[in-house]
Amino acid sequence: KVLQVRAFFLHNTYMNIKNHYLENIKISASPNFDIRPKDKEISLIVLHSISLPPTIFGNNYVEDFFLNKLSKSKNEYINKIRSMKVSSHLYIKRTGEIIQFVSFDKRAWHAGKSIYEGIENCNDYSIGIELEGCDDISFENIQYIKLSEIINTLIVNYQYLRKDRIVSHSDIAPGRKSDPGPLFDWKRLKTMIK
């Protein structure tokens, strides 16, 4: 019961944003971004999952990937993707650590070919949040807590964001992407969003 009460208080707190960056978290500036089109307001949050190599957690490969610093590896998958230019605004590790790679007012390269409600190129008007994870392993409790704090904060700070405009990568790129996967607990997250 004590843990449940503590979790309740944690996920009902807000974080601070200054100059489009969350305060008091690690910032690792990715070169993989550009300017949002002037006619596009931030109006969508896209949730992803990632682990490098797939299903392996607790290393720095994801950070290195977003920073274009992946080295040649014995792992075939790492070698296959290491020249790709990808980024996300935020990354939430399984420990709950949050890293920001791109400021919210800039366009991170997380969604790829995508469409939502008939509007293509979701990178233009979305914030991308990566969770350290994969389709067939449940996410950690602390990741839901941190994610809900972030989403609540974003909704308060960006006027076109609403709690009904939080989607999965698979929603905007059906057939091409499956993340964050079937084990992501949408019902739980929705109870944590104000």
Q: Is 149 annotated as catalytic?
A: no
CB 116 within 8 A of CB 43: no
Q: Kindly name the residue from 63, 97, 120, 130 that is annotated as catalytic.
A: 130
Take residue 83 and report the two structure tokens written for it.
Answer: 């020249």
- Rounded CA separation 62/70 (Å): 9
Q: Which of 39, 14, 10, 47 is nearest to 154 (CA)?
A: 14
Q: Which residues are known catalytic residues?
A: 130
